[in-house]
Structures are given as C-alpha cells and as structure tokens.
C-alpha cells in the first residue's frame, strides 16, 4: 500500500462539503440541493416522463423513483398519466414551482460562493466529472 489518500474518499468528502454549502444556502427555501436539482431539471424539461428525467439527471430509475416519491409526498411534484411507472409524467405543482423560484436566487448565491472558493480550480471539477462520468467510462 502507498501513503496516498484514497481518491474516492477525498472526492466523497469534497462532495459532502460542497453539498453542505448548498444546503445551508438553500435552507430558507426548505429545500436541499438534491431536491432543488430535481425541481430545476423538471422545470427545464417541462413535463418529462420518469424515464426521460432519469436520462436528464443521469440517475437510475429506482433511485430517481425514490427521490420523486419524497417530492411527491411533500407536494412539490405530481406524477400522472402513463401506461406504467416508466411512462408517468412528472410535473411541478404550484407549491413546487413556488419553492423552486424561492430557492433559485439562493442557489445562485451558493454557486457564486463555490466559484469564488474554487477560483481557477473550477475547471478541474468539471474535468474530473467528465472523466469519471458513467457513460464516458463505459466507452
């Protein structure tokens, strides 16, 4: 074994620290960054099916389904229509849209904070994400 820190552990700790920054910034909206991320993507996509949304957010359907159930129970999204679970349409409710709109400027401020903290290293974050992306790794 070498004395280098575990890359996976280091990346996870960095992700946890970043998540905390965003969660604290979003706290007045009542959303966590994980919830905000989905509401944002649903807002951008209009009314995607669960399968379409899974592709957009790059999550497997079962993980996405669990996350959507939380948002549905809290009244932020509505699942409707469709022949089966895969074809259900996901849409923001009025509550979800209001909460998302309240959170958007809070997220923008957190984004500015992260950009200031990372400085020139911001490009490295995107490069690491690109290199480790599941789809790219499969090629």
Residue 107 has pLDDT above 90, yes or no: yes
User: What is the rounded average pLDDT of the residues 101-125?
Assistant: 95
- What is the rounded distance in angstroms from the CA atom of residue 108 to the CA atom of residue 22? 10
In tens, the pLDDT along 60-94 reads 988 999 999 999 999 999 999 877 766 789 999 99
User: What does the domain layout of the chain look like in residue ranges?
Assistant: 32-114
Find the Cα–Cα–Cα–Cα dihedral 21, 24, 29, 30, rounded to 10°.
120
Given this model, what pLDDT does residue 17 score? 95
Given this model, what pLDDT does residue 135 score? 58
Q: Which of 138 and 87 is assigned the larger pLDDT?
A: 87
In tens, the pLDDT along 2-54 reads 788 999 999 999 999 999 999 999 999 999 999 999 999 999 999 999 999 99
The residues with which 80 forms a beta bridge, in sequence order, are 89
**Of 72, 66, 70, which Cα lies nearest the Cα of 89?**
72
Given this model, what pLDDT does residue 86 score? 62
Q: According to CATH, what is the number of the domain 32-114?
A: 1.10.10.10
Given this model, what pLDDT does residue 133 score? 81
Residue 55 has pLDDT above 90, yes or no: yes
What is the sign of the dihedral through the CA atoms of 82, 68, 62 and 56? positive
């Amino acid at each position: 074994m070498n004395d280098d820190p575990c890359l996976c552990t280091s990346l996870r700790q960095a992700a946890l620290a970043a998540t905390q920054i965003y969660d604290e910034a979003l706290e007045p909206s009542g959303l966590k960054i994980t919830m905000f991320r989905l509401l944002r993507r649903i807002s951008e996509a209009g009314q995607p099916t669960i399968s379409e949304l899974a592709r957009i957010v790059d999550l497997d359907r079962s993980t996405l389904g669990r996350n959507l159930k939380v948002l549905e129970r809290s009244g932020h999204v509505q699942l409707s229509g469709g022949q089966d679970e895969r074809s259900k349409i996901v849409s923001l409710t009025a509550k979800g849209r209001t909460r998302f709109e309240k959170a958007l400027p809070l997220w923008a401020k957190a984004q500015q904070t992260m950009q200031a903290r990372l400085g020139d290293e911001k490009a490295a974050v995107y490069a690491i994400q690109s290199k480790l992306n599941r789809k790219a790794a499969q090629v």
